[in-house]
């Protein structure tokens, strides 16, 4: 008996509503299944079928109501929803592009402006490199305001392809219903849920990353042309021809491995940390009370607090884990522009790396594995050529 079956009894629908309200990842099918299981275990006598007293008609399920109302989740509007996500993603990408552009130039080690003398919290004199805003002003002086959006076109195409790929994969490999992990689950059961969800996310992320990486490489190379004032990579189609002619098919996937490793480490680290915090440190014992009431004086307060904490835990863990996985991003971006005929990736400006492991070791020896991770307060490292007089 599915969630949209009109023969579902009212108490089964309450199971649907309860699961939808209390389960962060549970859908209408999971709630209906829970209600049906409860009926099989202990069928309420008040709602047994009777020839003279037929059951009241069930209300439309969440899925049916969504389909009838033409909501975002309806099957007919799936292309519209996907287009909306692509458009929103394009807007965010365009707005954040100057930030990524400056970050990439710092990652490759391009410092066209001298550092300034400042003081730290201890009152000692230190050298500070230009911040993002100073760097962006310099780019505007050289290339104009349009120069801040160098390499934007292939990046927009890359993000759109990634979004469409993930949407298509969800249609071909629809995710199973993800049950909420709570502190009532034993260690084995809760870990199974997290592993299942994370494995699905990892599959989608890896496939979308591999398909969109060639466009990512083109975008990186278009941006670092600012260093040597080159014009080798201009359009997407011409860039594809140049890369294939000079480097072959593998040229489109340079730097892919560290990016994939960074994505995998990020997903598993973020999900596992959030899982342990939400399941074993956040108390949701009040979720069994009718209507999710916390207590008589303040109804729903405890449950609302638990939901609020869970909603932010993964976000905070994502920020923390992204800082730890930043070296993978740095190495992947450097490999994408290394030894490609541009000044930013050729000696004497940059050594030619044999592999991404060679690049990692080189940056580690120089103490530069987190180069570009900060865009506001950028202190000169001890290994830099700048020095206080």
Please report, in tens digits, the pLDDT of each residue of the chain (389 residues total): 444 443 333 333 333 333 333 333 334 444 444 443 444 444 444 444 444 444 444 444 433 333 333 333 444 456 787 788 889 989 999 999 999 999 999 999 999 998 888 887 888 888 889 999 999 999 999 999 999 999 999 999 999 999 999 989 988 888 775 555 554 555 667 788 889 889 999 999 999 999 999 999 999 999 999 999 999 998 899 999 999 999 999 999 999 999 999 999 999 999 999 888 887 777 665 444 444 444 445 544 545 676 777 778 888 888 999 999 999 999 999 999 999 999 999 988 889 999 999 999 999 999 999 999 988 888 886 555 444 43
Distance CA 155, CA 301 (A): 44
CB–CB of 380/386 below 8 Å? yes
Helices 78-107 & 152-172 angle (0-180, nearest 10): 140
Distance CA 221, CA 233 (A): 7
Q: What burial letters (b/e) apply to 9-38, b meaning 16+ CB within 10 Å?
A: beebbebbebbeebbeebbbbbbbbbbbee
Distance CA 5, CA 2 (A): 5
Q: For residue 31, what pLDDT is reported?
A: 44
Q: For residue 310, what pLDDT is reported?
A: 74
Q: For residue 309, what pLDDT is reported?
A: 78
Q: For residue 81, what pLDDT is reported?
A: 79
Q: Containing H/E element for 116?
A: strand 116-119
Burial (CB count within 10 angstroms: exposed 0-12, middle 13-18, buried 19+), residue 277: middle
Distance CA 295, CA 124 (A): 55
Q: For residue 77, what pLDDT is reported?
A: 57
25 closest CA partner among 307, 321, 384 = 307
Predicted TM-score (pTM) of this structure: 0.72
- Within 10 Å of residue 246's Cβ, how many Cβ atoms? 11
Query: Is the dihedral angle over the CA atoms 371, 372, 373, 378 positive or is it negative?
Result: positive
∠ at Cα 246 (150, 143), nearest 5°? 15
Reduced to 3 states (helix: H, G, I; strand: E, B; else coil), residue 128 is: strand
- Within 10 Å of residue 107's Cβ, how many Cβ atoms? 22
Q: For residue 344, what pLDDT is reported?
A: 93
Torsions phi, psi for 345 (to 5 deg): -120, 20
Q: For residue 239, what pLDDT is reported?
A: 95
326 closest CA partner among 373, 362, 361 = 373
Distance CA 363, CA 185 (A): 44
HSE-up of 99 (CA within 13 Å, CB side)?
9
∠ at Cα 368 (159, 373), nearest 5°? 40
CB–CB of 328/261 below 8 Å? yes
333 phi-psi bin (left φ>0, alpha ψ -120 to 50, beta other): alpha
Distance CA 103, CA 90 (A): 19
DSSP for 263-331, written as a single string: HHHHHHHHHHHHHHHHHHTS--GGGGSGGG---SSSTTHHHHHHHHHHHHHHHHHHHHHHHHTHHHHHH
Distance CA 250, CA 247 (A): 7
CB–CB of 55/61 below 8 Å? no
Q: For residue 73, what pLDDT is reported?
A: 40
């Amino acid at each position: 008996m599915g969630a949209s079956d009109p023969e579902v009894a009212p108490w089964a629908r309450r199971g649907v509503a309860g699961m939808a309200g209390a389960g962060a990842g549970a859908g209408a099918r999971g709630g209906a299944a829970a209600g049906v299981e409860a009926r099989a275990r202990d069928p309420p006598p008040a709602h047994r079928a009777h020839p003279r007293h037929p059951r009241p008609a069930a209300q439309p399920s969440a899925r049916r109501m969504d389909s009838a109302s033409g909501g975002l989740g309806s099957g007919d509007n799936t292309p519209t929803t996907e287009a909306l996500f692509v458009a929103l993603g394009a807007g965010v990408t365009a707005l954040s592009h100057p930030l990524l552009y400056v970050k990439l130039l710092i990652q490759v080690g391009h410092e066209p402006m001298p550092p300034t003398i400042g003081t730290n919290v201890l009152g000692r004199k230190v050298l500070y490199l230009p911040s993002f805003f100073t760097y962006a002003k310099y780019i505007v002086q050289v290339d104009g305001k349009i120069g801040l959006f160098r390499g934007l076109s292939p990046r927009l195409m890359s993000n759109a392809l990634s979004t469409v790929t993930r949407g298509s994969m969800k249609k071909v490999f629809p995710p199973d219903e993800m049950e909420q992990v709570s502190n009532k689950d034993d260690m084995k059961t809760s870990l199974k849920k997290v592993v299942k969800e994370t494995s699905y996310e990892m599959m989608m992320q890896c496939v979308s990353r591999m398909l969109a990486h060639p466009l990512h490489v083109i975008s990186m190379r278009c941006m670092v042309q600012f260093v040597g004032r080159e014009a080798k990579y201009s359009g997407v189609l011409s860039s594809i021809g140049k890369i294939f002619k000079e480097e072959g098919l593998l040229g489109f996937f340079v730097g892919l491995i560290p990016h994939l490793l960074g994505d995998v480490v990020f997903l598993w680290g973020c999900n596992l940390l959030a899982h342990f915090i939400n399941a074993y440190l956040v108390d949701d014992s009040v979720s069994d009370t009718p209507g999710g009431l916390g207590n008589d004086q303040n109804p729903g307060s405890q449950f609302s607090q638990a939901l609020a904490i869970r909603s932010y835990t993964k976000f905070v863990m994502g920020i923390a884990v992204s800082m730890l996985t930043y070296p993978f991003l740095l190495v992947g971006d450097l490999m994408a522009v290394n030894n490609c005929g541009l000044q930013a990736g050729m000696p004497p400006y940059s050594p030619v790396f044999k592999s991404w492991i060679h690049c990692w070791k080189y940056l580690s020896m120089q103490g530069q594995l987190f180069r570009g991770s900060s865009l506001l307060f950028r202190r000169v490292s001890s290994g830099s050529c700048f020095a206080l007089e």
